[in-house]
Structure 1
Amino acid sequence: MFPSFPLVCAVLIAVACGWINSDRLRSAVTLLGQSPPNITLCPQVPPLFPTQHAELNAQLNKRYSSETFRLSSYQFLGDAIQIPTESYDDLLPVGQDERWIIFNVFHIFFEESFPRIYSSLTVTRVNTYGLVFHWQGSDDSVKPLLFAAHQDVVPVDWSTEDQWIHGPYSGLYDGKSCTWIFGRGSVDDKADLIAQLLAVNSLLEAGFKPRRTVVLAFGFDEEASGTEGAGKLAPYLEETYGRDGFAMLLDEGEGYGENLKEGVIVALLGVSEKGYFDASIEVFAPGGHSSIPPDHTSIGLLSLLIASLEANSHPPRLLRNGTAFAAAQCAVQHPTKPGKYPAGMKDLARRATVPGDDVALQKFAKALFEADPFFKVLSRTTQAVDLISGGVKINALPERAEAVINHRIAEHSTAQEVKKHIIDLVLPLAAEHNLSVQAFGDDIRNGSEAYRVVLSDAFYSPLEPSPVTPISNSPMYDVLSGTIIATLQSSKRYQADGVVVAPSLGLGKFTYGYTLYYWNLTRNIFRYSHRGDSDDRYNGLHTINEGVRAESFIEQIRFFTNLILNLDEVKSD
């Protein structure tokens, strides 16, 4: 259909008069009926199988499918689960707390279970319980591959023991009444860790000698602070291999979606994480008897500040160069549910990719946020007032009130911007009520000496958003994506119509392991665990009846094997 003649004339006159600038011209043309640009949303690479190592790969796949290998692998994981390597928030440094000793037992298990690895690889202990396995390659001109995992698990709440189908540290698999391997750590993160060791061990037994060096790094307090494990491993790795010394780092992360007939499996490959900041707002006011109150108590003033913050939340910004935008393109192109997005959404997504067409981008963002509010979360700094305290007695005026606000800092923002946002909202209310204000160590307003507002970091220093792993024209992203697709499509369990790999943005601190310590080691940091997020986990993480589907554990071994072989054939980094 052709646009009406009056509309064409109106647009041409507007351009001639300068009412529509060049940046908006493309949007105007779109209104006249131009087709959306011919752009591929969520481009995919083909499945990547080893070619030079094809015979070896076929040999190992045959071995992995044997009953003997499967049962022995389940036993390895079950034995690892039976060792309760719990880490606690109140652990003292290594050498000062006897609760670390359990990791000695775990290391003895490693040595007894994988003697070939200990005799063939260089094994280094870092801070006593951190482990680094170095498998030397023949070509030092290519950077090593780094796998990360953690040995520790969250503690079991023993008051829930009777709610477990099998004991929390049973590691049970009987192959009859269940198809699961149960126990704390079966999903987080001992399946990843043992799968890596079994892949390396299998390659060693097959006589494989890598061209590219392979390194495994296992921390031991990821479920606590990470400072004793990854926090000590990172300096060692940087000193040994250099800054940006690795081709790729793969740590635990999300997995893939449902494997359904007439459906598409969507694998989520973490390439970035939001920042993290807990802000404390304290209000100090004179005490006294509550029968003679001021206009506003400290709690009342704090409430006004909180109300202002919640009325002025951080606006979402969907940026073309952001991970949320790339993830949205994939979500629209490959929706997980029919009808999730309105008709024409793909055309909107294509138009939004055109540089300079901000009108199209805004339209796409608006439609996206309405269809799936989670993308609004990904595109903004979120804030949540999670803790509040104040007052000690009903007839005593509260002399202090405090709120703690949790922020997950958007990929495009900084901790300093978050602090400025808080200050800009606090100052007008402080002026209205004559409050003194100290903001993050600086006195920024002199008001009443009796009434003060103190802004500070609540617990830890802020964590900035992570570096973003490149996904466009990125050999490492392509190799990893192709390996994921190949491993899924070659699985005997595969019944879907296709596989899509989509970039994923983590929601901040504690989302994916402790890759934050490893930012200096490589620009290619990925967070991914090769298992079905719903199909292969019995009951989630950190809760009762944690369990991993036994077959998926074999698929993890296949995945790590394929990735080692595929990267070994990549000539450059």
Structure 2
Amino acid sequence: MKKRKLVMGTFGGLLLLFGAVTGFQTLTLESRQPAAKPTSVEIDKDKALQHLSEAITYQTISYEDRTKFDFSEFDRFIEFLQNSYPSIHEELALERINNYALLYKWEGTDSSLNPIGLTSHYDVVPVLKGTEENWEQEPFSGTVTEDAIWGRGTLDDKIGVIGIMEAVEYLIQEGYQPKRDMYFMFGFDEEIGGEEGAKAIAETLKNRGIRFDFVMDEGGAIVENMVPGVSQPVGVVGVSEKGSATVELTIEGSGGHSSQPKDQTNIGRIAKAISKLEETQFHAELRGPGEDLFEFVAPEMNLGMKYVFANKAIFKPVIEHILLQEPASAALIRTTIAPTIFQAGEQSNVLPEKATAIINLRLMPGDSLEEVKSFIEKTIDDKQISVSISGSEATKVSSVDGWEFSTIQQAARNVYGNAVIAPYLMVAGSDAKHYDDVSNNTYRFLPVQITAEDLNRMHGTNEHVSIDNYLNSIKFYAELIKEANK
């Protein structure tokens, strides 16, 4: 009995100690959000709306087949910029690279400081044929209603180009002069990879020895109900992009009549390989930008969730299990596998001699193409299936602890005072990756507060942005320029 009491007492003491330590961790968790300093930027609303509205009317569409580009529309758009922003074109140097990539330089007063770059793109995706009648407003009308601007590019990404131009024009007219050189870089083929736009701009700057402290492009946004336990909107700033790879699984062998099939057919073996990959999956781990996201939002969570994330070292397996339950959160902690194309057979009574499957993968930072291929070969364990891989690895991970990230945080908080601004891992692609070689840090953030439905409209039907969001984006860019030059 005494021994039992001793064991129970020891257990109770350990439990009490555990509660004290974890409770202390929770209660002492400090916010990583800078205090908001409400913006004093005042925008000429009517003129700003007129400019974005007109910008949407130019059909600067990117096509995979570059011969389909209507460059007269791109010429008209550039002429529109020159007419709409006279102060910029008097004060800043403009260089056109590959005719349509635009590079503006605003010279600062201190040449010893590294420059800052803001980049966006003015090309847009086509409107899917047959969907035109589903639009509430014409897709290239630039219609301004009581509360929104409509059309292709309002969210992706003419809002970025026009938002930056409006902010710079405003600051020049206010007599503002930056300390460091500022570069504004606008691509014209981002939607098909940015090879002749952003990549060419970056190569030009690299050849001139230009090195940025940071470059900021489109990417994350401010979203409500994004993180469990956080009631405020959360603005996510991409500090890295996942890599994108295409894997092809191929098997060839004898076909024959379907009346006498082998126990394992070509289709069956490829299907089995895919099944193994989906069952196994890549290792999931809360690390890197995904972990950083929760480091920044944990102090803003309700008490229960804060307790879990404040003691992440203890509850990490539980957190990872929870994150794996939803595709969006699972993508933050592992390389993803998405079979997208299956090709085999031409006739219902003939066994195909060849079967092929295409798999799209999005790679976590740190997972190399070679390692991914090796994992796939080991998992499918079928030497008759050939595995080929092509694509790009994840971009470098930018700092979340330096002044560069806190500058973006501060600018966002100055405009969206109740938002929690945090880093995250971007699962899509952007032009930012092209600037990795010329910048110490590359960030991805579209300064608007949007819904999940808005995200679906970016490349879909009824793309539009609220007037408030658009005006706030201009204020953000003005605040960012000022914060970066303090």
Whether 1:77 aligns to 2:52 is: yes
Whether 1:126 aligns to 2:97 is: yes
Q: 1:222 to 1:323 in 2, by over 3 A?
A: same
Tell me by how many angstroms 1:548 deviates. Answer: 1.0
Q: Tell me what 2:392 maps to.
A: 463
Q: Which amino acid aligns with 1:525?
A: T
Whether 1:529 aligns to 2:461 is: no
Query: Which structure 2 residues correspond to residues 377-388 of structure 1 after superposition, within 5 A?
Result: 377-388=331-342
1:168–1:183 CA contact under 8 A, matched in 2: yes
Output the CA distance in 2 between the equivalents of 1:159 and 1:288. 41
Aligned with 1:215: secondary structure? strand
Query: Which structure 2 residues correspond to residues 308-457 of structure 1 after superposition, within 5 A?
Result: 308-319=276-287, 322-335=288-301, 344-352=304-312, 359-366=314-321, 369=324, 374-427=328-381, 429-430=382-383, 435=384, 453-457=385-389
Output the CA distance in 2 between the equivalents of 1:567 and 1:479. 6
Q: Which amino acid aligns with 2:104?
A: F
Output the CA distance in 2 between the equivalents of 1:367 and 1:288. 47
Tell me by how many angstroms 1:401 deviates. Answer: 0.3
Tell me by how many angstroms 1:304 deviates. Answer: 2.1
Q: Tell me what 1:476 maps to.
A: 404
Aligned with 1:156: secondary structure? coil
Tell me by how many angstroms 1:408 deviates. Answer: 1.2
Output the CA distance in 2 between the equivalents of 1:398 and 1:462. 28
2:61–2:69 CA contact under 8 A, matched in 1: no
Aligned with 1:528: secondary structure? strand
Q: Tell me what 1:450 maps to.
A: none
1:396-420 Cα distance to aligned partner (Å, 9 max, x none): 2201001111111123422222111
May I ask how many residue pairs the two structures share in their alignment? 477
Output the CA distance in 2 between the equivalents of 1:183 and 1:525. 28
Tell me by how many angstroms 1:375 deviates. Answer: 3.1
1:222–1:513 CA contact under 8 A, matched in 2: yes
1:77–1:191 CA contact under 8 A, matched in 2: yes
Output the CA distance in 2 between the equivalents of 1:304 and 1:182. 47
Tell me by how many angstroms 1:254 deviates. Answer: 2.0
Query: Which structure 2 residues correspond to residues 29-40 of structure 1 after superposition, within 5 A?
Result: 31=18, 34-38=21-25, 39-40=28-29
Q: Which amino acid aligns with 1:86?
A: I
Q: For structure 1, which runs of at least 5 residues remain unmatched after alignment? A: 13-26, 50-56, 436-452, 490-497
Output the CA distance in 2 between the equivalents of 1:114 and 1:502. 33
Output the CA distance in 2 between the equivalents of 1:538 and 1:363. 29
1:249-284 Cα distance to aligned partner (Å, 9 max, x none): 11011221349xx95232111112212211000010
Tell me by how many angstroms 1:317 deviates. Answer: 1.1
1:81–1:169 CA contact under 8 A, matched in 2: yes
Whether 1:143 aligns to 2:114 is: yes
2:410–2:483 CA contact under 8 A, matched in 1: no
Q: Tell me what 2:173 maps to.
A: 205
Query: Which structure 2 residues correspond to residues 273-292 of structure 1 after superposition, within 5 A?
Result: 273-292=241-260
Q: 1:367 to 1:308 in 2, by over 3 A?
A: closer
Output the CA distance in 2 between the equivalents of 1:4 and 1:173. 76
1:270–1:527 CA contact under 8 A, matched in 2: yes
Output the CA distance in 2 between the equivalents of 1:504 and 1:42. 17
Q: Tell me what 2:137 maps to.
A: 166
Query: Which structure 2 residues correspond to residues 495-514 of structure 1 after superposition, within 5 A?
Result: 498-507=418-427, 511-514=428-431
Q: 1:413 to 1:156 in 2, by over 3 A?
A: same
Aligned with 2:438: secondary structure? coil
Point out the structure with max Rg over C-alpha: 1
**Quick one: which of 250, 253, 272 aligns to 1:304?**
272
Q: Which amino acid aligns with 1:376?
A: A
Tell me by how many angstroms 1:362 deviates. Answer: 2.7
Aligned with 2:410: secondary structure? helix
1:537–1:549 CA contact under 8 A, matched in 2: no
Aligned with 1:519: secondary structure? helix
Q: Which amino acid aligns with 2:110?
A: D
Output the CA distance in 2 between the equivalents of 1:344 and 1:185. 41
2:63–2:69 CA contact under 8 A, matched in 1: no
Output the CA distance in 1 between the equivalents of 2:444 and 2:133. 34
Determine which structure has the larger helix proportion and give its number: 2
Moved more, 283-292 or 30-39: 30-39
Identical positions, percent: 28
2:247–2:359 CA contact under 8 A, matched in 1: yes
Tell me by how many angstroms 1:292 deviates. Answer: 2.9
Output the CA distance in 1 between the equivalents of 2:308 and 2:155. 39
Output the CA distance in 2 between the equivalents of 1:393 and 1:487. 61
Tell me by how many angstroms 1:6 deviates. Answer: 1.2
Tell me by how many angstroms 1:567 deviates. Answer: 1.3
Tell me by how many angstroms 1:9 deviates. Answer: 5.4
Tell me by how many angstroms 1:101 deviates. Answer: 3.5
2:60–2:70 CA contact under 8 A, matched in 1: no
Aligned with 1:520: secondary structure? helix
Output the CA distance in 2 between the equivalents of 1:304 and 1:517. 38
1:89–1:225 CA contact under 8 A, matched in 2: no
Output the CA distance in 2 between the equivalents of 1:224 and 1:29. 58
Q: Which amino acid aligns with 1:71?
A: D
Q: Which amino acid aligns with 1:40?
A: L
1:294-337 Cα distance to aligned partner (Å, 9 max, x none): 22221122122222222211121123xx11112234454445xx
Output the CA distance in 2 between the equivalents of 1:423 and 1:367. 29
Q: Tell me what 1:486 maps to.
A: 414
Moved more, 383-392 or 31-40: 31-40
Q: Tell me what 2:61 maps to.
A: 86
Aligned with 2:131: secondary structure? helix
Output the CA distance in 2 between the equivalents of 1:306 and 1:382. 13
Output the CA distance in 2 between the equivalents of 1:560 and 1:48. 15
Q: Which amino acid aligns with 1:250?
A: M
1:252–1:512 CA contact under 8 A, matched in 2: no
